[in-house]
Amino acid sequence: MIAWISGGAGQALVEEEGGFFLLEDSEPDRRLELAGISMVTRDWLDAYPTDVASRNEARAELQRASNGYQALELTSLFLDRETDPEDRHVVLAEAERLLGDASTFNYVIGVYCAQPMPESGELLEGVERCRQLGFPRVGEVVETVLKFQQNIAAAYDAWNLIRPTVFGAAERRPAVLATAVRRGLFLGMVKRIGDLRRCEAFPDVLPSLVDPFTLRKFPELSPVVRAWTRHARVFCPPLSPPVPLFSDPGVPRHRARVRGGDSVGLCGYTRAFSQAPAF
């Protein structure tokens, strides 16, 4: 069966034989009439489809999505200079707790690897705050994003060189972008870009990064990743210093920059999902 998951809304819609069921945190499953689906889902900016065996499995996926969404929002709130200093410790503590789950940690890193951050001292200040206050998981996220800004910018620029026709219909591009971010493809490219051998092998590892259901639902992913890899060849910089998350070799910096392009919006990243797949 298919479930549509919205971590931001804390809801999931499951299609079963005989109807649709709405799942919410700490609430019993509720059957929905077809006419009521659009009313429930109209504000779901981050919804994505997934294959599940049961409603219990859909609930588990919803919990993971909700944790990822909350951890991302909390980390971004921590990095926001406008956040009240008295609230920052509470925000950090909750983000640290959520990032203790590996899937949540990887999700947050994957989103932050999808678009370069504006040049400012916020990331460096964030690393120092985490060290001082004893929040190593948040600190590792921020340190990774800080040290690999040039790699992230390179992967982002290479993505924006992909011709629109590769995505098929224009309205599919936002959904493909959201899927690439959610499934960690930007993280994969950040780790490879500049290493020609590993970069060229990227399309071959796609089935290990993306589940078969998503590949069927988004057949554009394969040609998009191949085109992305071709454009990534123009970035051939020296290696960057390693951090724990990137312990494997071949993580360089880049030189060229391309202006404009798709926006993920890290502090309000749900804008990237503004054209979620139709229900």
The larger pLDDT score, comparing residue 233 to residue 238, is at 233
DSSP state of 171: G
Please give the structure tokens belonging to residue 167.
Answer: 């995505």
Does residue 79 lie within any of the structural domains? yes
> 183-201: string of b/e by CB count within 10 Å (b at 16+)?
bbbbbbbbbbbbbeebbee
Average pLDDT (245-262) is 48
- Lowest-confidence range among 25-29, 155-159, 266-270? 266-270
pLDDT of residue 261 exceeding 80: no
> 110-119: string of b/e by CB count within 10 Å (b at 16+)?
bbbbbbbbee
pLDDT of residue 248 exceeding 60: no
Residue 38 Cα distances to 41, 45, 49, 66, 209, angstroms: 5, 13, 16, 21, 31
Does residue 249 lie within any of the structural domains? yes
Does residue 202 lie within any of the structural domains? yes
Q: What is the pLDDT of residue 121?
A: 67
pLDDT of residue 112 exceeding 70: yes
CB < 8 Å & 24+ apart, contacts of 96-99: 96/135, 96/136, 96/137, 96/138, 98/67, 98/70, 98/71, 98/74, 99/71, 99/75, 99/137, 99/138, 99/141
Does residue 264 lie within any of the structural domains? yes
Q: What is the pLDDT of residue 222?
A: 94
Does residue 99 lie within any of the structural domains? yes
Q: Around Cβ 207, how many Cβ atoms within 10 Å?
A: 11
Does residue 35 lie within any of the structural domains? no
Domain membership of residue 256 as a residue range: 65-279
Give the position of tokens 């599940």: 52
Does residue 260 lie within any of the structural domains? yes
Pairing of strands 30-32, 48-51: unpaired
As a whole number of angstroms, the distance between CA 108 and CA 9 comes to 17
pLDDT band at 252 (very low <50, low <70, confident <90, very high): very low
Cβ contact 193:252 at 8 Å:
yes
Q: pLDDT (tens digit, 9 = 90+) per residue, 64-81? A: 999 999 999 999 999 888
pLDDT of residue 58 exceeding 60: yes
Q: What H or E segment, with its residue span, contains residue 208? A: helix 206-209
Nearest CA to 128 among 74, 68, 87, 79?
79
As a whole number of angstroms, the distance between CA 196 and CA 190 comes to 13
pLDDT of residue 9 exceeding 80: yes
- Lowest-confidence range among 47-56, 200-209, 249-258? 249-258
pLDDT of residue 23 exceeding 80: yes
- In sequence order, the β-bridge partners of residue 15 are 2, 20
Question: What mean pLDDT value characterizes the chain?
Answer: 81
pTM over 0.85: no
Does residue 162 lie within any of the structural domains? yes
Q: What is the pLDDT of residue 260?
A: 59
Q: What is the pLDDT of residue 272?
A: 33
Phi-psi group of 18: left, alpha or beta (phi > 0 → left; psi -120 to 50 → alpha; rest → beta):
left
Helices 55-79 and 122-133, interaxial angle, to 10°?
110
Q: What is the pLDDT of residue 251?
A: 41
Average pLDDT (150-155) is 90
Cβ contact 37:47 at 8 Å:
no
Q: pLDDT (tens digit, 9 = 90+) per residue, 187-237? A: 989 888 878 888 888 899 888 888 899 899 899 999 999 999 999 888 755
- In sequence order, the β-bridge partners of residue 11 are 6, 24
Number of domains in the chain: 1
